[in-house]
Structure 1
């Protein structure tokens, strides 16, 4: 048993020696033997050979030491924001919902079938196709251009909010005086209408 404890101690000591590093102060050239522990608030925490800890300002250390420290700190993963293609994939599918009145109540039913480059609108009650068009996404903006049916040749500038399987799309109608909405609300005077849709 004593032999096992001795061997364990020796192994730990050897590990400590292997981890030890010579730290150098850039301006004075002074050195210190110590183990790297962590980076905290612009300083390096090290453990000295006698078991104590010291805080070394990172900016005062040699270039080699600073490079070493950067290599010890794992890089934070970059959180990728959903890109245009990601949003398009989420939009693709069949959406059933309604046109909303200015008070948010249901005004009329609508179905949208969205592909990678086309939107087809229909009345789900009679399964009557109303028209189709292309669309373009820029951030939270969505602009549609009619190519078929009653929407042909008309442009609709809008904004959208996509939350899981719920899509809110507020758009200006085809009147020249209409402008892109700034909030999700039907406004007949401004020529703006809101659609609230659920993905099938």
Structure 2
């Protein structure tokens, strides 16, 4: 008996929730009504989900003035939500890029992670300039783009001019690990932060000054 009572309470609760989410839609000419939850606007119709879970499209022109006003308000709210999400994504991207700005000293790593050669990167909003920190000799420069944990550079000056480098990176405080494919067309973006000479992929380990 207790189980039946519990099930009854659950059913009643579900009905209350469904009623709260649903809306009564009215046809302007006939006055006929339908209970359903607003899903989305599709062209000149509104998509409604009924209590049994099925969806139906109702032409906006056939609905009451109050229903049309409600649909218009929902449609106007949707782009704002999308824009807010895009702004959040953009802000996250900007935060990562800001952390990359500055001077980074480090080394090229061999396949076993050992130090191979020194390198310095000067990263600004617009470009990256590479040099040898010991002789302070500029090696070249290029533009770059950051997307998630991907970083793609295109050489514009020096020995890197006209070359493209697709890479991945990891930023942990003041430590930057950047693994990139070299300029060989047969090289592809690495999936691991590790030098792989056979695949034409090299790792830089850098510390922010």
Query: TM-score scaled to structure 1, two decimals?
Result: 0.61
Residue 144 of structure 2 is aligned to residue 135 of structure 1: yes
Task: Describe how 1:1-200 pairs up with structure 2 within 5 A.
Answer: 57=13, 60=16, 63=20, 83-200=92-209
Distance 2:112 2:102 in 1: 28
What SS is found at the alignment partner of 1:119? strand
- The CA deviation at 1:117 is 1.3
Higher helix content, 1 or 2:
2
Distance 1:150 1:84 in 2: 29
- The CA deviation at 1:88 is 0.7
Runs of 5+ in structure 2 lacking a partner? 1-8, 21-84
- The CA deviation at 1:60 is 2.7
Q: CA deviation digits over 1:54-79, x for unaligned, max 9? A: xx94863774xxxxxxxxxxxxxx9x
Q: Max radius of gyration: which structure? A: 1
Runs of 5+ in structure 1 lacking a partner? 1-42, 44-55, 64-77
- The CA deviation at 1:84 is 1.4
Over aligned residues, Cα RMSD in angstroms? 2.1
What SS is found at the alignment partner of 1:159? strand
Distance 1:179 1:108 in 2: 23
* Cα 1:169/1:59, change in 2 over 3 Å: farther
Query: TM-score scaled to structure 2, two decimals?
Result: 0.59
